[in-house]
Every structure is written in C-alpha cells, then in structure tokens.
Amino acid sequence: MPVSLDNLLVIGISSRALFDLEAEQVIFETQGLAAFRQHQLDNESQILKTGAAFALVKALLKLNQLQADRRLVEVVIMSRNSTETSLRIFNSIEHYGLDITRAVLSGGAPLAPYLQAFNVSLFLSLHEDDVQAAINAGTAAALLYQKPTQSHEVENVDQIRIAFDGDAVIFSDASEQIYQTDGIEAFDRHERENATKALPEGPFARLLMALSYIQNQCKNADGRMAPIRTALVTARASPAHERVIRTLRAWDVTIDETFFMGGVAKSDVLAAFKPHMFFDDHPDHCERASDRVQTGRVPWRTN
C-alpha cells in the first residue's frame, strides 16, 4: 500500500530556506549555473549552516515524538537544485539529525505544480516566484526574510510558537481592500455592520485549523507545556475586534494570545512573544519585524 500524506501537516521547504545558501546564490547569480554546480560538487562534504526556517522545522518535526503510534508532521525538501547537486543538502540534513526523507528536485523548473501532489499545507521559500505561484494555487506560502539581526535565534523546540497577522493571512483580504480603497472609517463601519458574520478564510486559515487540531490531540493532562502556542497580532482594534472573535469561535479555533494593535508597531510585542515564525502580508510590517523575529511575508493572490 502506498504511503498517504493526507492526514499529516506537510511542510514544503526550499533548501535555501532550511540552510544558509546565500553565498551559493551569489555564485549562481553572478557566475552562472556551471559555476554553481561545480561549487556544490566541490563542497559536498561541507555542512551548510542553518537557514531562516531551520528552527521552525526542527520544532515541528519534534511533534512526531508526542504520539508513539502516528506521525503528525512531514517535511518535504522542495528545491530547484538538480539531483546531481543535491548531495550537500542531504548530507546537511543527516548531520543535523532532521527526520526528512522526501524531496522534490526540479532541476530549475517551477515547484508549484508539485505542491498538491505532496499535499503541502505550508510552503516556505526565499524564491518570490515560487511563493507567489503557491499562493495563486491556493497553498499557504510565505517569502522568508533572513535571520533576525537584533535578537537570538529561537532555540526552544519543546514549544512551537507561531504568530499570524489577521487580514489577508488568516482571514481573506476582502476587509483589507475596503481599508485600502475607502479608508479606516469605511473599514470600521463595514466591520460593525458585519460583526456577527464570520470572515472568509484567508490563505493561512487551514494551517491555523491544522495547528489547533494538533494542539487538541496533544493536550497534556500532566500539566506539561503545550506543544504549540499561537498568537494573532493584528492592526485591528475596537470596533473591528468583535468580528475576529466571533469568526474564530465559528471556526472552533482557539488562539492562545491575541493582540489588537490599533496601528501600533508590532515589533515589540513579537519580540516578547518570541515566535519561531511570524506571518504578515504587509511589506512594511515585515521589514520592521524581521529585525526582531523570524518573518515570512504572505503575498496577495494575483489570479
């Protein structure tokens, strides 16, 4: 019988998001494919340093130790590398003891066509075209920023901490578009008038629901730390808060911590929460946050 990934949280991650391949990327961009290929072959035994999503991936894989009879998470390397140049990636995976056995090596071709084939729930990359294509295909995806410069890397793998923006991330961008086109007063009026109507799902709604499901499956009766902790960090404030609360209630999803920022910068709150990853759609918010915490920008759908 073939192995099914249907009931797993599947993370698709580019090799450049998992490991630090920035020097190699410069070689590719300035010297071309042949020089990149030779560099990788010459350095096959050199272990790569950890990349932007390494801490999150390590923490997620640890969830598989919580239940003896089943896996909860699968991580799939999704790389534009060729098979020939991939050994350095696999050697680094083995070196760090990561339980990753599946890979897509597309040899330069786009990766989006393979997301559904592996039932990917979240795709993380530093390649903007691949991230945009994933979002357009209906898969939660984020373009990662480099590691934060002002704070330590999150080391705690006993509890996964993930922070989300609201509109255009967990929720659809419909209300956000009203704000963008008609201003804050029109936005507040619309949200008051629709306070009891659940917001439509955004690109990360299903991911949040999956994390909530895993939280419920792994509740610790002995009082140990919960394996996942989530936060909603949104620019919304009263009166636009009610619709958010009612929507999460309608979805039967519990967010552990919620911050209605009302336009205040999110960076200090995020630094205090210490997430393995923060997802937001606004480039300005992401730029400010990325100096403090690991950040992924969620692009708007373009089709």
Active site residues: 165
| φ, ψ of residue 123 in degrees (nearest 5) | -120, 130
| Closest by Cα among 233, 172, 170 to 205 | 170
User: Which pair of tokens denotes residue 97?
Assistant: 């003891």
Question: Dihedral of the CA atoms 203, 205, 208, 213 (nearest 10)?
Answer: -130
Distance CA 164, CA 233 (A): 6
Q: What is the DSSP-derived secondary structure letter of residue 295?
A: E
| Closest by Cα among 102, 133, 205 to 123 | 133
Q: Which residue type does 302 have? A: T
Please give the full DSSP string across 55-72, using - where no structure is assigned.
HHHHHHHHGGGS-TT---
Distance CA 2, CA 281 (A): 37
Q: Which helix (H) or strand (E) holds 272?
A: helix 267-273
Helix axes 33-42, 22-31, angle to 10 degrees: 140
Question: Dihedral of the CA atoms 143, 8, 222, 158 (nearest 10)?
Answer: -30
User: Which pair of tokens denotes residue 173?
Assistant: 């961008």
- Size (the chain), residues: 303
